[in-house]
Amino acid sequence: MKRYPLQTLLRLRAHRTEAARLVVLDRQRAVAACREECRRIGDEITALQDDRQSQRARLLDPPVAGLSWPMVLETREAHIELLAQHIVAAQQRLQAAQGRLSDAERALEEAKQAYFRARAREDALEKRKHLWRDEQFALEAHQEEDAAADLFMARYVTPGQP
């Protein structure tokens, strides 16, 4: 197994964490786009339902002069039926969009988990770096203390004595 210098590992982990963060941001944009699509289709369905209700309310309005009742009634009923078909189609598109939204939210959650794992690994490596640095400082301090003690002892030892 090849061992990498700590600084190289820190840069690598920081790069991986940043890449995971960018994936999370990308997934968040995808979720927002899916939510917007669902909202837009929901608004379209509402508008179609309102239009259909208003057409039903005007179904028995008297026809314009010169048009026969049966023909006007048939045309109005056909338009109401067409609006109903558009509503059904929009509801199917909404279900498909909600499925895509669910998939996007699941992908976002997985990306967040991957980011948190990458961040935890980077933090653990940073902690290891700080522990190593503290150990090095302690070792240097201990060596300095030993050197100071040797100098102190050397003052009392006369030359030529063992």
Q: At what angle do helices 6-57 and 69-156 cross, to 10 degrees?
A: 160
Q: What does DSSP assign to residue 64?
A: P
How many secondary structure helices (H) and strands (E) does the chain include?
2, 0
Write down the pLDDT at residue 78.
94
Write down the pLDDT at residue 155.
76
Q: Give pLDDT tens digits for 110-158.
A: 999 999 999 999 999 888 888 878 888 888 888 888 888 887 787 776 6
Amino acid at 134: D
Q: Token pair for residue 75?
A: 């045309």
Q: Give pLDDT tens digits for 74-88.
A: 999 999 999 999 999
Average pLDDT over residues 90-94: 97
Of the options 3.40.50.1820, 1.10.287.1700, 1.20.1730.10, 3.40.1350.10, the CATH number for the domain spanning 6-123:
1.10.287.1700
Amino acid at 133: R
Q: What percent of the chain has pLDDT over 90?
A: 58
Calculate the alpha carbon distances from 28 to 22, 52, 106, 127, 129 in Å.
Answer: 10, 36, 11, 30, 33
Write down the pLDDT at residue 3.
64
Q: Which residues contact 83 (CB under 8 A, 6 or more apart)?
A: 48, 51, 52, 55
Q: Which residues contact 78 (CB under 8 A, 6 or more apart)?
A: none
Write down the pLDDT at residue 148.
83
Check if the beta carbon of residue 84 is closer than 8 Å to that of residue 32: no
In angstroms and rounded to an integer, the radius of gyration of the C-alpha atoms of the chain is: 38
Task: Kindly list the domain boundaries of the chain, sorted by start residue.
Answer: 6-123
Amino acid at 135: E
